[in-house]
Chain A
Amino acid sequence: MPTRIPLLSVQSLRKSYGSLHVLDDISFTVAPGETVCLLGPSGSGKSTLLRCINWLERPDSGRILIDSQPIGVTSGGVVMNDQQLAQVRTRIGMVFQQFALWPHLTVLQNVMEAPVHVQRRPKDAVRAEAEALLQRVGLFDKRDVFPARLSGGQKQRVGIARALAMKPALMLFDEPTSALDPELVGEVLAVMRDLSSEGMTMLVVTHEMAFAREAAHRVVFMDHGVVVETGTPEAFFEAPSTERGRQFLQRFSEGRAVSAG
């Protein structure tokens, strides 16, 4: 298989709060078109890792490259200012656990906001694209509604459309369904599955094991700030190669059995 230049390259990332190593020398890559799921127990550092990638959190050391372009620290070793960070962030889309839609803007305005005001694309073209995106996530008829009137699942689908409107090279998902009522989870995962199958490069922090199993090309299992295992979903879920991986999966299926029973 021809080796492709990774779209995302994380090298030796470290972050500590005092004596607590939240990220302890993390390195991995994501190839273009790959969907990678970050799994692990709470406190493993997976959300922190995700938020370091677009520098919403600042790592203590290490390098992050998006399409060979550094983020956070320039190749000259200087920490980027707000303007430079903003520039790189336009290539990364993020979907938040609590949706983070802007409440004073309608659904359509939420999706159009950044392409118009950050990328300065012509309004009419952006509107057409935004409406198409909303069609895609099934919320075209809600385009003139304010976010407060939407259900959680609808808000999150708008959140995904908003991120996609920037035409990013990489999409980050920070526990996108954790704040949703169970019956609304499916509609969001369906959108994510479609996105993945269309070839979007995605890094997803999630507890939805079924989704990871079906949609991910690779899973990365983290615990206590360290990458414990990585591999294909089949390999990890069927036969985890580490003891911690085994324990995690066992606790997970036990939890499911208890709640199902």
Chain B
Amino acid sequence: MSHADVLSIFSGALTTLLLSIAGIALGLPLGLGLALARWAKVPLLNQVVAVYVSLLRATPLITLVLLIFFALPTAGISVGPVTAGLIALVLNTAAFNCEVWRAALLDLPKDQIEAAQSVGMGQALRFRRIVLPQVWRTALPGLINEMSQLVKLTPVLAVVGVVDITRAAVRIGAQTYEPLPPFLVALAIYIPIVYALVSVQRWVERRTTLREAAA
């Protein structure tokens, strides 16, 4: 593998990183919105979200990416590989995030909200000052876990032609007839990133257990 090859892998890594961040940034609030729709039992929306989440959690990301990349153009919307990949990532991660947020919301004792209602807080105020500040802490380990899962799924983007780490590695391997070294380099980039996220998750979980034990 030449110097240029390594550089192209790192350039792919940048694409992967940016897409991961975009996917996480969009998927977190979307997941929260979906969870709230279910938690507040908004009629019709509640059931639609339930079906959406069930469907998206069962669908392999590669199948979803292919569906979006090839099917959207037939509906008149032309999407490039990056857009298709990002849409698939966000739709997928939002479904998983929804379940994490939902579990955290259900974990909140009912009388927390009743106390807020009893002092005359409206819905928006209750959510902003009482529900969210408590719920984000509960949801955090699960959300970070989902982030690490998302990063592990980004190689899928290579399948539709996004020039990320994986596609760069494949290309080099095809050119040099030595597929193993570029893949190992790709692995060497992914593993520390995911490991960092997993470590943060473990640290957060430890701190929560400690704080609960002290109280």
Contacts and interface: CB of A to CB of B under 8 A. Distances in A.
Direct A–B touching, Cβ under 8 Å = yes
B120 A118 contact: yes
A102 B125 contact: no
A90 B120 contact: yes
A94 B118 contact: yes
B133 interface: yes
Interface string B94-131: 00000000000000010110111111111101000110
A207 B12 CA distance: 70
Interface stretch (A15-23, A59-67, A81-89): A81-89
B177 to A, nearest CB: 59
Nearest to A110: B115
A256 interface: no
Interface in B117-158: 117-123, 125, 129-130, 133-134
A96 B115 contact: yes
B215 interface: yes
Contact of B121 (A92, A117, A148): A117
A39 B12 CA distance: 72
A11 interface: no
Given A100-B112, A100-B114, A166 B215 contact: no
B118 A92 contact: yes
Contacts of B133: 104
Contacts of B117: 54, 56, 85-86, 89
- A-B residue pairs, 4 tightest by C-beta: A90-B120, A148-B215, A114-B119, A100-B115
A46 interface: no
Given A102-B130, A104-B134, A94 B120 contact: no
A163 B119 contact: yes
Interface in A68-113: 82-83, 85-90, 92-94, 96, 98, 100-104, 113
Which of A54, A86, A103, A149 counts the most B-chain CB atoms under 10 A from its CB?
A: A86
Contacts, number: 70
A102 B115 CA distance: 8
B25 to A, nearest CB: 24
A88 B125 CA distance: 16
Interface residues of A, number: 30
Contacts of B109: 98, 100
A218 interface: no
A5 B130 CA distance: 36
A149 B118 contact: no
Contacts of A113: 119, 129
26 contacts: A56-B114, A56-B117, A56-B118, A86-B117, A86-B120, A86-B121, A88-B120, A94-B118, A96-B111, A96-B114, A98-B109, A98-B111, A100-B109, A100-B111, A100-B112, A102-B112, A102-B115, A113-B129, A117-B129, A118-B120, A118-B121, A149-B215, A162-B115, A162-B119, A163-B118, A166-B119
B95 to A, nearest CB: 28
Given A56-B114, A96-B115, A113-B129, A166 B134 contact: no
A117 B125 CA distance: 8
B123 A82 contact: yes
A103 B108 CA distance: 11
Given A82-B122, A83-B122, A102-B112, 5 more contacts: A85-B117, A86-B121, A89-B118, A118-B125, A163-B119
